[in-house]
Amino acid sequence: MNLTIDRDGLVAGIRYIASPNFDERPASMPIDLVVIHSISLPPGEFGGAGIVDLFTNRLDPAAHPYYCTIATLKVSAHFLVRRDGELIQFVPCEKRAWHAGESTWRGRARCNDYSVGIELEGADDQPFTDVQYEALGRLVAAVCSHYKVAEVVGHSDIAPQRKTDPGPCFDWPRFRELVKSA
């Protein structure tokens, strides 16, 4: 199934859960980078509401000991790819999601200004699922065809002193082949 993006940056046919954690991109700033992340909440656990709750500022600090350390963060991503391949959009691509933090790519700071952020439900030390790769390949192909994306990188590439995701278990060659064939 091919995915399409409308002029507001919303992908047709996928679940949309609005995050309040975004703002406007700088005027005339082209979107030319995709950043792949990974996240699991609680760490190492999959399938719960933690990620959605974090991105929508509803994370209950009492629900898990780890949550009290992150419950006040104001973060988001444009998309989440669940372990079962479900795609969820939190922020329209035309808006600036707060996914990269302090970051630099090829001498350009503030990667949130010019990138689309995609979170994979997962952890650095565990393989991602086949359906995740397939959904991610279709999603990135759609983003690349709608915007003039020059590169797709990991969070670890744009913030190497702070971040390790998507981690050594992410199969970059497999992912790139799936984007080409989408």
What is the radius of gyration, based on Cα positions, of the chain?
A: 15
Given the residues 24, 119, 121, 151, the one annotated as active site = 119
119 counts as catalytic: yes
33: β partners? 115, 151
Annotate 115-148 with b (16+ C-beta within 10 A) or e (fewer).
Answer: bbbbbbbbbeeeebbeebbbbbbbbbbbbbebbe
The Cα–Cα gap between 120 and 132 comes to 8
Catalytic residue ranges? 119
